[in-house]
């Protein structure tokens, strides 16, 4: 009999890649979709799996809907990837962020405890929980010091997962994922801001790329690799928490330089730094130590080097602009315009970085 997984945030970057990974291994995949959500299923279509997953109505803020989703899907594994996931928005909407990103996790855990405590649970923790940290690399035992409402909400979700594991014996695991990117990353995130803008500049559609802190350093990996680690955690007999990262950090400036170099353009001619785009509380440096995941999960953090990741993203954005994936671009752009009518203005900006 095939195994079954239930995923919140299934239409996001990680949810889409995880769905494909699980489908390729014979899983039946269910996803929770809030009624209030706009159509973000373009990622599932991009990966060719939109007709292969079953979507259930549910909301992380509503325990009763999660109980119904668990009862309807009868999952062996639950992956909680849903959240209010934008650091910038968390400053504008800290209460909403706490309720969805923080309390959403305990709602899901409680749904599992009340229906079937044998279900294995994965919580998407984030390197944003480390925040202001002095250690050059962060491990599973590095003290947390979040620097945003998003990071603080993720920290609550992280510790409530530990508490349900220790108090109720639920197989509950936290994956502390550092920044992981892909061609289906939202345009709000700095890496896609960069690769999309570089593609547009190369195609003559805009001239400048405007960013905030160019010296902030992050540990960037490929999202398609990271979902394998999520799955691997739930295959272990004993639940635990794992840092998932490459162990290497690069600055925003370095990431942008790699993208411009790929298309034969001079970064100095097009990149502008605007201090107005800085975070209220900046995190200067994050770099994870994936030693535990390498040893216990057999996970390979070096499968996709950052230069290859940048190439994948830049080429995908150029292909979109050239019309090779026009239906996806149109779907994405329509939804984006509803939220931001200036989305196609010739300047790409960002004021935050995020890990998961």
CA distances, 125 to each of 18, 33, 59, 206 (Å): 15, 20, 19, 36
Q: Nearest Cα to 86, choosing from 244, 198, 192?
A: 192
Three-state DSSP state, 88: helix
* Residue 126 appears among annotated catalytic residues: yes
Three-state DSSP state, 333: helix
Q: Where are the beta strands (DSSP E) in the chain?
A: 4-8, 28-33, 54-57, 77-80, 120-126, 172-177, 180-181, 208-211, 217-218, 221-222, 241-244, 250-251, 271-273, 347-348
Q: Which of 19, 41, 73, 126 is catalytic?
A: 126
Three-state DSSP state, 251: strand
39: exposed, middle or buried (Cβ count in 10 Å: 0-12, 13-18, 19+): exposed
Q: Which of 27, 150, 222, 226 is catalytic?
A: 150
- Strands 217-218 and 250-251, bridge-based pairing: antiparallel
For the record, the structure tokens of 196 come out as 């999309």
Q: Nearest Cα to 271, choosing from 251, 289, 291?
A: 251
Please report where in the chains the tokens 């014979």 appear, as a residue.
26
Please report where in the chains the tokens 């960013």 appear, as a residue.
211
- Is residue 64 within a helix (H) or strand (E), and if so which, with residue range? helix 63-73
Q: Nearest Cα to 283, choosing from 188, 200, 351?
A: 351
- β-partners of residue 30 are 6, 54
Measured CA to CA, the distance from residue 194 to residue 255 in angstroms comes to 8
Residue 330 neighbours by CB under 8 Å, 6+ apart: none
Q: Determine contact, residues 242/230, Cβ cutoff 8 Å.
A: no
- β-partners of residue 348 are 209
Q: What is the dihedral of CA 88, 246, 296, 120, to 10 degrees?
A: 30
Measured CA to CA, the distance from residue 209 to residue 200 in angstroms comes to 10
Catalytic residues: 126, 128, 150
């Amino acid at each position: 009999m095939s195994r079954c997984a239930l995923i919140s945030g299934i239409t996001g970057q990680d949810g889409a890649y995880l769905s494909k990974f699980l489908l390729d291994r014979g899983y039946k995949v269910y996803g929770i979709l809030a009624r209030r959500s706009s159509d973000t299923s373009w990622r599932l279509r991009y990966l060719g799996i939109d007709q292969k997953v079953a979507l259930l109505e549910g909301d992380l803020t509503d325990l009763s809907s999660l109980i119904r989703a668990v009862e309807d899907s009868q999952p062996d594994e639950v992956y909680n990837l849903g959240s209010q996931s934008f650091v910038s928005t968390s400053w504008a909407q800290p209460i909403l962020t706490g309720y969805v990103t923080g309390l959403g996790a305990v709602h899901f855990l409680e749904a599992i405890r009340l229906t079937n405590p044998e279900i294995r649970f994965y919580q998407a923790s984030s390197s944003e929980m480390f925040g202001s940290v002095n250690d050059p690399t962060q491990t599973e035992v590095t003290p947390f010091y979040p620097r945003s409402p998003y990071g603080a909400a993720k920290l609550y979700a992280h510790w409530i997962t530990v508490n349900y594991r220790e108090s109720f014996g639920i197989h509950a695991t936290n994956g502390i994922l550092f920044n992981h990117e892909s061609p289906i990353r939202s345009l709000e995130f700095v890496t896609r801001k960069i690769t999309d803008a570089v593609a547009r500049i190369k195609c003559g559609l805009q001239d400048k790329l405007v960013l905030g802190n160019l010296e902030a350093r992050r540990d960037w990996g490929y999202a398609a690799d990271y979902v394998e680690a999520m799955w691997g955690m739930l295959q272990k007999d004993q639940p635990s928490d794992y840092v998932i990262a490459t162990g290497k950090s690069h600055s925003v400036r370095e990431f942008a330089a790699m993208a411009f170099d790929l298309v034969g353009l001079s970064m100095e001619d097009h990149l502008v730094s605007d201090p107005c785009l800085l975070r209220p509380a900046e995190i200067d440096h994050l770099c994870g130590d994936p030693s535990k995941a390498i040893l216990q999960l057999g996970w390979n953090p070096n499968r996709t080097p950052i230069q290859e990741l940048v190439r994948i993203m830049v080429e995908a954005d150029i292909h979109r602009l050239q019309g090779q994936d026009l239906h996806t671009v149109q779907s994405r752009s329509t939804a984006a315009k509803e939220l931001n009518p200036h989305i196609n203005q010739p300047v790409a900006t960002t004021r935050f970085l995020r890990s998961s």
